[in-house]
Structures are given as structure tokens and as C-alpha cells.
Chain A
Amino acid sequence: MAVLLESQGLTKNFGKLRAVNGVDYSIEEGKTYGIIGPNGSGKTTFFNLLSGFHQPSSGQVRFDGKDITNTESFVRTGMGVARTFQLVSVFESLSVWENLVLSTLRFKQSSYPRALPFFFRKANQEESLEDCFTALETVGLAGKAEKPTTVLSYGDKRLLEIAIVLSLKPRLLLLDEPFAGLSDYEIGFIMELIQSLSGKFTQIIIEHKISKLITLVEKLSVLHNGSIICADVPEAVLENAEVRNVYWGRGAGCD
């Protein structure tokens, strides 16, 4: 399997705080990966470095063989790196449908609106309808397409966010705590969704509860104080003494 994304010695300092500390990470195309770690262990910062929200203090990120360390975030999205956020990020000033239309814009025209017809073009164009509808159907929101985003439940907003990143036609999905703030029912639905997507996309899922990831991912990495202390199949990670020690405290049970 080809390596899709890798980081070498990836480090990010915020002042004196070293949030991500020399992380070497590598994933293969088509698999599903998990990253766990306590709050403040650097998970989201690591994602921000992969998606281009932060510039690393040192180290390198390569995607599909190309060095993207200094590539802007929107360009990375165009290359196929899409992400969701710990706090759901959808546009509440637009309707469900308009949210998706916005995300498929990139495919219809270069990102620079040179021509006036583009400038004044109506947003709901038929060419994008099919892609948008497919994405909404995948997450089960097709019936709510015309609704204003503000009336959706938090769980539905999370699904909409996933539909948006799917419509970006990504090669790599970065899901930052996709289960945070959801009910058990909704968590079950999103876990099924992630399972149905595995194989079609390469996915990395951040989560701080290990229990949700065991069945979902093929390889699990544990971040602690900005460093990866263990990376293996989930079962082996559970047995790892160092992980048990820093993650649950001495000999405590799994939550």
C-alpha cells in the first residue's frame, strides 16, 4: 500500500509550550486510523498541522509524495485533505443545501472568479445538485435539505459537516472528535457511517475515549504531551504498559 500522508519530526511550539513534539507519523491509503490522547495532549494541534491551520515550528508534512509543510490550508483541501472540527463547523447563516453548494464550488470553476458571469451567477446551479444530493443522502439528511441550518439538532449539524467534507471529494478525511457532544444513538449512527466509508476514503479519527475507536480503526496511535508513545493495532495498544500508565493512571480500567 502506498503511503498517503507522513510527517517527520513534526513540532509545534506555542511560546514555551511544545504542543506537538517531533512526531513521525505515516498512514497508508484506504485504511482507517485513530489517534487518542488525554485533553491537551496535542491531538487537535497535530491535526491543525496536517490540515495547514498552523505552520509547524520544525519538521515536515508530505501528502501523496509532495511536501505540503508550507502549503496553505485551502490548497490542501484542493489536494484532497478534508477535515471536521471538534466543535461542529457549519455555516448557520446558510441553509443546509447552500452549505453543500458552497462546498462543491471548487469543482465548477477555478477558485478565482475571473469572469463576471461567475461573479453574478446564482448559487443553486444544477450541475452541483447531484453531488450535493448524494452527500446528503449518505448521511441521511436528504429530507432536510431546504431547512435553515439553525433549526438542525447538534447531531444533524455534525452529519451536515460530514456531508460537506464528503462532497469535497477528499482522499483523506481528518475527523476531530466526531462523537463529541452527541447522544448514544447519534454516536452509533456516525460510527456506522465511518465504517461504511472505510475503504472508500483514508480516515484519521481523533477521540479521547479509546472505547469508541477499538472497533473502528486498524491502527491506533497514542499522543501524550505532544509525542506518540505507542502506535499499533488497537488490541495491542490496550495492553501497552506505558499507555495504561499515562492514559488511565496505574492499573485503572478502561472507560
Chain B
Amino acid sequence: MFETILYGFTIGAVLYLFSIGLSLTFGTMHIINFAHALVYTLGVYSFIGFRDALSLGFVPAMLIAVVAMVPLAWAIERFVIRRLYGERLDYAIIATYALLLIGTDLIKVVFGTLPQSINVPIHVSVNVAGVGISLYRIIIVLVAVLIFLGLRQFFRKTVVGQIVVAALEDNEGVRCLGINISTYFSIVFVIGSALAIIGGILYAPISTAEPYMGMHILLLAFSVVIVGGMGSLTGTFYASFALGMLMALVGRFWAGGANAAVFLTMALVIIYRHTIKPRLHRR
């Protein structure tokens, strides 16, 4: 049971790192960015590339992969996402999904479809109450929590952070203050992409690195963003861990039901928000 809980926290941590970018892009630009999954997958493959080509250790290869992906993330925002700004929601879905499919096929051409092996960098197991649990999983959870706390400070205390918080509420209002908001959207987009890549690389050793890895997590993260509230920074955090835990608990008893449980929760939340809550307020 203890392991299941830790497993839930691990999934939650990875979901959080992936979802934050999805949530910010939706919250600020009102765009559902399916290409986020491509950046995630490409990040893991470039990690493998740098690791093998330069014989690097886990952490240096991860840092280089993140930095190497920044221009790509910037270019996706600048040349695809920004053109969709203010357009209909479904246009953005089609365009970014197309990007995801094209990119996934390119990965298959270059790296093949077989899963790539990434070794767990830390094999230490910690003894908690007589049960041995993997230190690596604990580190993943800690990284997510630290990033959450760091982001919270960033959004509360810094100029860029406050502009983004204001833009989440009303981006036309921010433009009214004479602030060129697209610059800040680029920053947010790149931050979100970098975090997703970190999440992907951390998760790869304990899952499988294959061309569709981004697509698998995309739909789960989409549920996280809806359950947590689109554009809600803390909501995304709590929803990630809640849904991660749900997956672990359901998966322990019925492996096939883990994903279904997440989508069912999303459906219930949507029904609650749009049907039940408005009626409660009316009374």
C-alpha cells in the first residue's frame, strides 16, 4: 500500500510538471496546446541524444536537453501559437495536434518506434517503516514540490510573474496598461515547455521512452487542467496529485481502470461546474 501511495505521488509530480505549461497556455492565451506533448517527447529524445553523443551523466544531459529545446519551444509559440491567438478554439486544437503528429512521425523516422532504454540514475532504496521505497521516486516528488513553491514565489513576487497573473485574469486589461503581453506569453510558454521536459526526462527511466509517450500523458494532463481549473496555478498542482493518487489506487486493484477513473473524474467535475453548481448558486 505504501508503494502504491508513493507511486501515486510520482505520477502526480510528473503530471504537474507537464500540466503547468498546458494550464498557463490556456489561461493566458486561451489556446489548447496539444503540441506540448511533442515538446515533452522531443525533450526526452534529445536527452537520449546528448547522453549518447557526449557520454554525459543523467543531470548534465537533462540540463542540456532542456536548454536545447528552448529555441524550439520559442519557435512553436512565435510561429504557430501566436498566429492562433484570438482564433477559434478548434483551430488551435487542429493546428497544434497536427504539429504533434508531424513531430511524432519525425521522431519515429530518426529514432525508430522501439522504446529507448534509460537507466534509473539512483538505485538507492530508503527504508521507511520496514518497507524499502525508491529514493529516485522521492526525488521526483520533491522536484515537483520545489518547482511548485518556486513558481508560486515567481508569480507572487516578480514583475513578470505579476503580469502573467494579471493576464490570467484579463489579458486585454494588461494590454490596456501599455504592456506588450505577447512577450510575456513567450516567456510563460518557454517556462512551461522546460518544466514539461524536466518532467518527461525524470519520468522516462521508470516508464517507457517511446514516440507516443507525450500523447499518453497529454490526455491525462488535459484532465488535470480541467479538474484544477484552467489557468489556476495552485489548482493544477493539487489536481495533479489528486488524480495521480487516484490512478495509483485504482490501478492497484484494476490496472485497466486507472485512466478511465481520471476521465470519469473530469466528466464529473465538468457536470458539477456546468450543471449542479449554477443551480446551487441560484437558490
Contacts and interface: CB of A to CB of B under 8 A. Distances in A.
A102 B166 contact: yes
Contacts of A236: none
B177 A122 contact: no
A91 B175 CA distance: 12
A52 to B, nearest CB: 8
Contacts of A14: none
Chain B interface residue bracket vs A: 20 to 34
A168 B175 CA distance: 12
Interface stretch (B66-74, B132-140, B155-163): B155-163
Interface in B150-197: 154, 157-163, 165-166, 168-170, 172-181, 183-184, 187
A89 B169 CA distance: 10
A91 B166 contact: yes
Nearest to A106: B178
B159 A78 contact: no
B176 A77 contact: yes
A164 B177 contact: yes
A123 B177 contact: no
A53 B177 contact: no
A151 interface: no
B170 A91 contact: yes
Contacts of B176: 51, 73-74, 77, 82-83, 89
Interface string B179-217: 111011001000000000000000000000000000000
B132 to A, nearest CB: 40
Given A93-B165, A98-B162, A106 B157 contact: no
Contacts of B181: 74
A112 B162 contact: no
A75 B184 CA distance: 15
Interface string B240-275: 000000000000000000000000000000000000
A111 interface: yes
Contacts of A83: 176
Interface stretch (A113-121, A138-146, A202-210, A221-229): A113-121
Nearest to A149: B169
Contacts of A77: 175-178
Contacts, number: 89
A123 B166 contact: no
A107 to B, nearest CB: 9
A68 to B, nearest CB: 14
Given A89-B170, A120-B158, A111 B165 contact: no
B180 A111 contact: yes
A81 to B, nearest CB: 9
Interface string A82-119: 11000001111110001001110110000111000011
Contact of A93 (B154, B157, B169, B183): B169
B159 A113 contact: yes
Given A111-B183, A122-B157, A106 B177 contact: yes
Nearest to A165: B176
Contacts of A93: 165-166, 168-169
Interface in A129-165: 164
Nearest to A92: B169
Given A106-B179, A111-B180, A91 B173 contact: yes
Interface in A151-189: 164, 168
Contacts of B168: 93
B165 to A, nearest CB: 5
A120 B184 CA distance: 13
Contacts of B154: 120
Interface string A39-54: 0000000000001010
A150 to B, nearest CB: 11
A78 B158 contact: no
A102 B163 contact: yes
B172 A53 contact: yes
Contacts of B187: 113, 119
Given A89-B173, A93-B166, A94-B165, A122 B158 contact: yes
A73 B166 contact: no
20 contacts: A72-B175, A73-B175, A74-B175, A74-B176, A74-B181, A77-B176, A91-B173, A93-B168, A102-B166, A102-B177, A103-B177, A111-B180, A111-B183, A112-B183, A113-B187, A121-B159, A123-B157, A123-B158, A123-B161, A168-B178
Interface of B: 154, 157-163, 165-166, 168-170, 172-181, 183-184, 187
9 closest residue pairs by CB, A with B: A77-B178, A91-B166, A74-B175, A111-B180, A78-B178, A106-B178, A103-B177, A89-B173, A123-B162
Interface of A: 51, 53, 72-75, 77-78, 82-83, 89-94, 98, 101-103, 105-106, 111-113, 118-123, 164, 168
